[in-house]
Amino acid sequence: MAEEKKKKIVSADTGEIVAAGSKKKPPQAAAPVGNATGLRIGAIVLWLLAVGFEVLALLVALGKWSLSFMPSMTQLIVLLILDLACVIIGSQLWKKANHIRPASEKNPLTFWLWNNMGLIACVIAFLPFIIILLTSKEADKKTKAIATVVAVIALLIGGLASYDFNPVSEEQQQAAINAIADDVYWSPFGHVYHTHDDCQALNHSDQLTYGTVEQAIAANRTRLCAFCAKRDDITGVVTDGADADDLELEEE
């Protein structure tokens, strides 16, 4: 029989290895998972900067403003890239804040809007630029063509990066906290958290992080492993949605 692979167990609080090949570990302290308000403020500031870069790009495209030491087309591309960077970073901060302090799903429309403020910000940061540039008679055809293509590509990239494909609600988070009293585990590249470090879905993971359910959700592991839910007979908690008998193994 092959020897079972020993896993490194890492604390979510300190990042230190607290166990290796053993299920015994110190109890995890109930540490705060982050400052949601600070993350939201940071996201809003970055989105405002993105709109500022959009306005500057539009002024350059229309010949209203320019830097003398740089060609206009280069300025346009640089400004649109800076616009995109601010949108994406701001959206990641906002999604992180939503996993720390989720919104309630009692109102589906409000829940969707709150979880996709990054997508909305992305549209605001690029769509007006595209519309105004295409309808303007002041910009030359070459500038219109190149700048529009760059802006559309940036809009698509920013939209995909900003959309929350895995949102969590306040009700889902609380249900998980109520159902799972002990610490949970997650792998570096997995998408779910586990109640057992020897879960069969973790057979290919050499290192695990352990912490509270809140810490797992804040780390973007918003759903419970279906294997672990079935093993512990846990109900009322959102799992990865697949039949545990058909789940593929997580790989580090």
Say yes or no: 18 and 60 in one domain: no
Which of 239, 246, 215, 207 lies closest to 225, judged by CA? 239
Which residue among 127, 162, 197 closes a domain? 162
User: Are residues 84 and 198 located together in one domain of the fold?
Assistant: no
- Residue 81 to residue 151: CA distance in whole angstroms: 9
| Shared domain check, 50 and 155 | yes
Average pLDDT over residues 222-239: 89
174 belongs to a structural domain: no
Amino acid at 45: V
Handedness of CA 192, 42, 66, 61 (dihedral sign): positive
CA gap 37, 21 in Å, rounded = 38
Give the Cα separation of 166 and 61 in Å (integer).
37
In angstroms, the CA 60 to CA 199 distance is 57
What lies within 8 Å, CB to CB, of 15 at 6+ separation is none
In this structure, is residue 170 part of a structural domain? no
Mean pLDDT across 151-176: 93
**Is 124 within a domain?**
yes
Do residues 48 and 145 share a domain? yes
41 close to 115: Cβ distance less than 8 angstroms: no
Q: Which of 225, 181, 175, 221 is nearest to 202 (CA)?
A: 225
Does the residue 214 lie in any domain?
yes
- Give residue-wise pLDDT tens across range 58-74: 999 988 888 888 888 99
Across the strands, what pairs with 185? 194, 210
- Tens-place pLDDT, residues 99-154: 999 999 999 999 999 999 999 999 999 999 999 999 988 888 888 999 999 999 99
The predicted model scores a pTM of 0.79
Task: Tell me which residue of 223, 220, 192, 224 sits closest to 205, measured CA to CA.
Answer: 192
d(CA 49, CA 120): 15
* Residue 49: band (very low, low, confident or very high) from pLDDT cuts 50, 70, 90: very high
| Burial of 241: CB neighbours in 10 Å, binned 0-12, 13-18, 19+ | exposed
- For the four alpha carbons of 43, 188, 244 and 197, in that order, the dihedral sign comes to negative
107 & 88 share domain: yes
Task: Kindly state whether residues 78 and 193 are assigned to the same domain.
Answer: no
pLDDT of residue 165 exceeding 90: no
pLDDT of residue 140: 84
Structure tokens at 235: 């109900």
Residue 15: give the domain boundaries. Answer: 8-28+183-232
Q: Are residues 103 and 125 in the same domain?
A: yes
pLDDT confidence of residue 87? 98
Residues 157 and 60 in one domain: yes
* DSSP-based three-state secondary structure for 101: coil
- In what helix (H) or strand (E) does residue 211 lie, and over which residues does it extend? strand 207-211
How far is Cα 142 from Cα 100, in angstroms, rounded to an integer? 46
Q: How many domains does the chain have?
A: 2
**33 within 8 A of 87, measured Cβ to Cβ:** no
| Residue 141, in any domain of the structure | yes
43 lies in the same domain as 132: yes
Q: What is the DSSP letter of 185?
A: E
Mean pLDDT computed over 185-198: 89
* Residue 150 domain-assigned (yes or no): yes
Q: Is the pLDDT assigned to residue 23 strictly greater than 50?
A: no
112 and 210 assigned to the same domain:
no
Domain contains 169: no
Q: Position 4: which residue type?
A: E
Are residues 137 and 213 located together in one domain of the fold? no
Q: Is residue 176 assigned to a domain?
A: no
Instruction: Assess whether 126 and 191 both reside in one domain.
Output: no
- Give the other-Cβ count within 10 Å of 31's Cβ: 14
